[in-house]
Amino acid sequence: ADPDHLALLDLAVATARETGRMLIDERPAGGPDVVATKSSATDVVTQMDRAAERLVRARIGAARPGDAFLGEEEGDTAGSTGVRWVVDPIDGTVNYLYDLPDWAVSIAAEVDGAAVAGVVEVPRRGWTFTAVRGGGAFLNGEPIRCTSGVPLQKALVATGFGYEAARRAAQARVLAGVLPNVRDIRRNGAAAIDLCQVAAGRLDGYYERGVHHWDIAAGSLIVIEAGGRVGGLDGAPAGNELTIAAGAELFGPLHDLLAPLGPARD
């Protein structure tokens, strides 16, 4: 792996760890307050999402002042170095709100638009997932791999849902077509963690419509470095329309199960 990319990863990991600790230590006793909503009344922002993004921007901005930044809460900041940081300060905000353990700090570094380093820190579980382009994927420093040789009918597949009612009705129709054809479905509530569980071979696959770039930037690199594939419908890149992730062999069958169900329709 490129030493410059390893240096970016070191900064990402130190920042994600510090932010994760802050989110545990400073979580208000009665839970965080909902300070805003986004696409619907259940798509919430808490003061802790904002505090976490401020902390990430402060640490990365101090170390690398010229870099660009894309964050879920504060949006785009232009830079001059060719490096852009893509940050979800809390992926799985609803889990954090309810004090369920599956939420993460997700930080990716991109060079000229391609991810070169990524960390997904899951503080309540003690999991640090990392990858550098060309250097493999790791959980707490140990190498991880996607599953292989699992037929679709035996695949454990995670998904997620958007926050708008009409979108959810469409997602429920797609789910009804998937469920009879796989081992089972999980809805764990954090896209970045779903991707990392695919990378670790703890899930065979994952698909979701409506994810944002900050949800998947780090996790996608981690899946690819774990030998998996990440993409969208009919060869499109992964993204808002559809994101599919799986081991290299399962990707095609999962895609072909989803495509006729119209996963990006309605």
Q: Which residues contact ligand IPD by CB under 6 A?
A: 72, 88, 91-93, 160-162, 189-191, 208, 210-211, 215
Q: Minimum Å distance from CB 177 to ligand IPD?
A: 18
Distance CA 167, CA 59 (A): 36
- 88 annotated to a ligand binding site: yes
The distance from CA 47 to its chain's CA centroid, rounded to whole angstroms, is 21
| Residue pointed to by tokens 């469920």 | 179
Sign of the CA dihedral running 230, 233, 237, 238: negative
Distance CA 178, CA 250 (A): 14
Would you say 77 or 188 has its CB closer to ligand IPD?
188
Structure tokens at 52: 């976490």
| Residue type (1 letter), 245 | A
Exposure on the CB side of residue 208, measured as CA atoms within 13 A: 27
Distance CA 96, CA 102 (A): 8
Q: Minimum Å distance from CB 16 to ligand IPD?
A: 14
- 91 annotated to a ligand binding site: yes
Structure tokens at 214: 């900050």
Map residue 3 onto helix, strand or coil.
Answer: helix
Structure tokens at 77: 């900041």
Q: Which residue is nearest to ligand IPD (CB)?
A: 160
Q: Minimum Å distance from CB 103 to ligand IPD?
A: 7
Distance CA 104, CA 62 (A): 23
- 225 annotated to a ligand binding site: no
- 90 annotated to a ligand binding site: yes
Would you say 132 or 230 has its CB closer to ligand IPD?
230
Q: Minimum Å distance from CB 49 to ligand IPD?
A: 8
Q: Minimum Å distance from CB 3 to ligand IPD?
A: 31
Would you say 72 or 121 has its CB closer to ligand IPD?
72
Would you say 82 or 98 has its CB closer to ligand IPD?
98
Other CB atoms within 10 Å distance of the CB of residue 148: 13
Would you say 14 or 100 has its CB closer to ligand IPD?
100
- 67 annotated to a ligand binding site: no
Q: Which residues are annotated as a binding site for Mg(2+)?
A: 72, 88, 90-91, 215
Q: Which residues are annotated as a binding site?
A: 72, 88, 90-91, 215
